[in-house]
Structure 1
Amino acid sequence: MRILFMWCYLCLFSCQQNKQVVSDKEQKTISFCASKSDIQDAAELNLNIIDYIKMNDKVKEIRRASIIMSQYITLDKVNRKYSVDISETKALELGVNKMNYDRVVLEIENVNKLLVDNPDVELIDLKLQYKEYKEKLDSVFNR
């Protein structure tokens, strides 16, 4: 039984097995083979492998920048607002380009404007969320 399980596992997760995925936006079928680095990158972007394979590189870069920046966004619960606590220079050093840095800063400004008019909106502590995400990721890849 154990040998059968291992054989099924290897067949299902083997990189040599060619999977077929139908894109949500297009009705074309694409073939892919996920490498170990693809699987790790998908996990780092908090995506399942199917969504990762279908996602274009620009969107992956935006998502990666948002995850990096999330650890530098502070929630002020008393005043109900967020602040970005990283300079553009430091963000560049961490791999976030200027366009993505500016996008995140603008998104935070827009969220703060929204919060003024909507006091019932639930606030999320992005630093805490990042910490939990990082701990989960580390537990998977640092066994």
Structure 2
Amino acid sequence: MTEWEDANRTLPGTNAEPGPWRTARVPYLAESIDCLSTASPVKQVVLMMGAQTGGTEASLNAVGYWVAQASGLILAVWRSIDMAHRMSRNIGGSGSGAIGRDAVVRLAAAMSPARLCDLIPRGRHASAGLAAV
């Protein structure tokens, strides 16, 4: 999964280090992130992290990876409504989101026409087939 995020994840301009995601900047996250891969035999990952250490970004990376590699329904539960709104915007395919416009176009090409509606944001709480609660 670290290879996927290095190739596909872009940090928004509001981030302290905007631009392409680089796992090399947070090597302590690599093993945990790889355990979230669809190929990993690990069934549960628990992260206990301090503030500003990459935990939220790792979560966004995981959601982007799952949408791209194992598309299906994803329910992401965040600690507050405000955070759910913020994460929904960050994950969306507006070009500045975690997945980004190019990846959303690739996802749309791989999906059946009946599933394309999953890529259309629905209100303030959902984006790119993700319900953020």
Say which structure, 1 or 2, has more relative contact order (CA 8 Å, 6+ apart). 2
TM-score norm. by structure 2 comes to 0.26
Greater share of residues in helix? 1
TM-score norm. by structure 1 comes to 0.25
